[in-house]
Structure formats: structure tokens, C-alpha cells
């Protein structure tokens, strides 16, 4: 089991154990009952959890995070946006929001491990508490995952473990499923195999194309990602094997293990 917190990052591991009393993420709005309400906005923003967002494309999920982060009580600050390619709308969105950007292209390095090391150094330079893959179309390497163990979140446009990989929506349509959706998960060494944080279901309509279905998924995906990142940042989280418990607030896990309730913020 790992607990995640700032300012003093704390990791504790064990196996087994049941869920905390308040369970996994709820469907509540991201600004419900936030800690720190009533404090001046500037003070809240100064204490907001720094995150780096990685993108490869249009960046609508990034935009949802940037928009949420303009509200002080969301408790998250996007300190940088990184990409694996130039000229994408995701980078333009960050620039318009006044957020620093960087690009690390795989092809600019002699091999994959060189890219992995460079990306790790770049991101670590911003000292994020969380890293969010928001449509980032690269497999993160071992150096990166070691540096940000259990702190990398990804969003995927399918109900994992169904349809992992780069063509999840196309694969779901081709398979003929009646329901698909999106998944927010921690990133591990596999392809879309990390512990699941939250999922949302989307019905597949008879006339759906890959494009129409993906657009409907993305509406829910953006809200899910904003909620996951916000709650993990504000309330902390516990990773216990394949389960991620957000905001357990000293539930059975912690009482049993004498693990202190901690916060990322």
C-alpha cells in the first residue's frame, strides 16, 4: 500500500486490506466541500498542488484542467505542459494560459532510454506532485516511472481492461460493444494496465463512428479527469495493489496500519 501526500511525500507499502469507509471516487462535482474554503484565493493557489500535464494532440483534456485550476479552491496548479511533438493545439492552449511548455521528441534522442531520461529530467525540473497524461501518445519509460512512482495519472478512452492501446475507440466500434467509456488510471510499466482510479460508461449508438463516439466519450472523460486530479491532489490517495482509494480520510486502511492521514496539498 502506498499513501501519497505533500508537503512531506510519504510512501508506505503492504499487501491486502479492505477498502476505506468512503470507497473509490464519487460522482460529485469537483468543487464540493473543498478544504480551505474561505481562505483568500491567492493563499490557496500558492499552496495548490503542482502538476505537469503531458499531451500529444488537441488538448481538450488539458484545457479542462487549465480551466479548473483557475478556481483557487480546486487546489491544483499546472506548472508546465510537455509534449512529444511540436505544433499541436495542446501546446498552444498552454501558451495561451501562460503555462510554460516543453517538447521532448523521441527522434531527437539516439534511443528510447535517452528520451526517457530527458523527459524525466524535464518534468522533474518542475517538481510536480502529480504528472497527468492527457492524450499523451507515448509509453513512459522505466526512468520516468521510477522517478514518479504511483504519481502518474493517465486517461484512456475505453473501459479498461477492454481496448487498451492507441486505437481504443476504433477497436470498441469494430468489436461491436454496446457500452464503452473512459478510464482514469495510474500508469505502470504496461500499456494501459495500471490501477484504475475511476471509470465512466458511454453507450454506443447504432450510427456511431469512431469520431462521433470519441467526442461523446471525451465529454465524460474531461469531467472524470478533472474530478480525479482534483480529489487526489486535495485529499491524497492510497494505492493498495490494484485498488486506488481517494480521500479515505483515515479509513480502515490507515487505522489498521497506523499510517497517518496525509494530503498532497
12 near ligand GRF, judged by CB under 6 A: no
Q: Report the nearest approach of ligand GRF to the CB of residue 43 (Å).
A: 31
157 near ligand GRF, judged by CB under 6 A: yes
Count Cα neighbours of 1 within 13 Å in the Cβ-side half-sphere.
Answer: 21
Q: Report the nearest approach of ligand GRF to the CB of residue 132 (Å).
A: 11
Q: Judge contact between 78 and 99, C-beta under 8 A.
A: yes
Residue 98 gets the label, from left (phi > 0), alpha (psi -120 to 50) or beta, of: left
With CB under 6 A as the contact rule, which of the stretches 55-63, 116-124, 139-147, 192-200 interacts with ligand GRF?
55-63
Q: Report the nearest approach of ligand GRF to the CB of residue 135 (Å).
A: 3
Q: Report the nearest approach of ligand GRF to the CB of residue 79 (Å).
A: 19
With CB under 6 A as the contact rule, which of the stretches 21-29, 120-128, 154-162, 199-207 interacts with ligand GRF?
154-162
How far apart (Å, rounded) are the C-alpha atoms in residues 75 and 175?
40
Q: Report the nearest approach of ligand GRF to the CB of residue 190 (Å).
A: 16
Burial of 114 (C-beta count, 10 Å sphere; 0-12/13-18/19+): middle
Q: Which of 56, 190, 201, 202 is nearest to 132 (CA)?
A: 56
Q: Which of 156, 185, 214, 253 is catalytic?
A: 156
82 near ligand GRF, judged by CB under 6 A: no
Torsion of CA 30, 34, 39, 45, to 10 degrees: -50
Residue closest to ligand GRF (Cβ): 135
Q: Is 185 a catalytic residue?
A: no
Burial of 4 (C-beta count, 10 Å sphere; 0-12/13-18/19+): buried
151 near ligand GRF, judged by CB under 6 A: no
Kindly tell me which of 93 and 231 has the beta carbon lying closer to ligand GRF: 93
155 near ligand GRF, judged by CB under 6 A: yes
* Interface residue with ligand GRF, options 58, 149, 212, 261 (CB under 6 A): 58
101 near ligand GRF, judged by CB under 6 A: no
Q: In what order do the strands lie in the sheet with 2-4?
A: 2-4, 237-240, 243-246, 196-203, 179-186, 152-156, 130-133, 49-55, 76-83, 101-103
61 near ligand GRF, judged by CB under 6 A: yes
Q: Judge contact between 186 and 156, C-beta under 8 A.
A: no
Burial of 258 (C-beta count, 10 Å sphere; 0-12/13-18/19+): exposed
181 near ligand GRF, judged by CB under 6 A: no
Q: Report the nearest approach of ligand GRF to the CB of residue 58 (Å).
A: 4
* Interface residue with ligand GRF, options 129, 156, 185, 254 (CB under 6 A): 156
Q: Please give the backbone phi and psi of residue 48, each rounded to the nearest 5 degrees, phi first.
A: -65, 150
Q: Count of residues binding ligand GRF (CB under 6 A)?
A: 14
Applying CB under 6 A, the residues found at the interface with ligand GRF are: 57-62, 90, 134-135, 155-157, 218, 221
Which residues belong to the active site? Answer: 156
Amino acid at each position: 500500500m502506498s499513501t501519497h501526500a505533500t508537503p512531506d511525500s510519504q510512501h508506505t507499502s503492504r499487501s491486502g486490506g479492505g477498502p476505506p469507509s468512503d470507497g473509490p471516487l464519487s460522482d460529485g462535482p469537483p468543487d464540493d466541500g473543498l478544504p480551505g474554503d474561505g481562505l483568500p484565493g491567492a493563499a490557496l493557489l500558492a499552496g495548490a498542488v503542482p502538476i505537469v500535464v503531458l499531451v500529444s494532440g488537441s488538448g481538450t483534456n488539458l484545457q479542462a484542467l487549465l480551466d479548473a485550476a483557475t478556481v483557487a479552491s480546486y487546489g491544483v496548479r499546472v506548472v508546465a505542459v510537455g509534449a512529444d511533438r511540436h505544433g499541436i493545439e495542446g501546446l498552444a492552449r498552454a501558451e495561451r494560459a501562460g503555462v510554460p511548455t516543453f517538447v521532448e521528441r523521441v527522434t531527437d534522442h539516439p534511443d528510447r532510454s535517452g528520451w526517457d531520461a530527458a523527459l524525466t529530467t524535464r518534468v522533474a525540473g518542475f517538481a510536480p506532485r502529480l504528472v497527468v497524461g492527457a492524450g499523451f501518445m507515448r509509453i513512459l519509460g522505466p526512468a520516468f516511472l521510477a522517478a514518479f512512482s504511483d504519481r502518474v495519472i493517465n486517461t484512456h478512452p475505453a473501459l479498461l481492461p477492454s481496448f487498451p492501446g492507441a486505437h481504443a475507440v476504433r477497436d470498441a466500434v469494430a468489436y461491436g460493444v454496446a457500452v464503452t467509456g473512459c478510464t482514469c488510471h495510474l500508469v505502470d510499466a504496461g500499456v494501459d494496465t495500471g490501477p484504475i482510479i475511476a471509470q465512466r460508461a458511454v453507450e454506443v449508438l447504432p450510427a456511431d463512428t469512431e469520431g462521433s463516439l470519441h467526442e461523446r466519450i471525451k465529454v465524460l472523460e474531461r469531467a472524470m479527469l478533472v474530478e480525479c486530479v482534483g480529489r487526489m491532489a486535495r485529499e491524497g490517495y492510497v494505492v493498495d495493489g490494484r485498488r486506488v482509494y481517494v480521500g479515505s480520510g483515515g479509513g480502515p486502511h490507515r487505522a489498521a496500519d497506523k499510517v497517518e492521514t496525509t494530503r498532497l496539498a
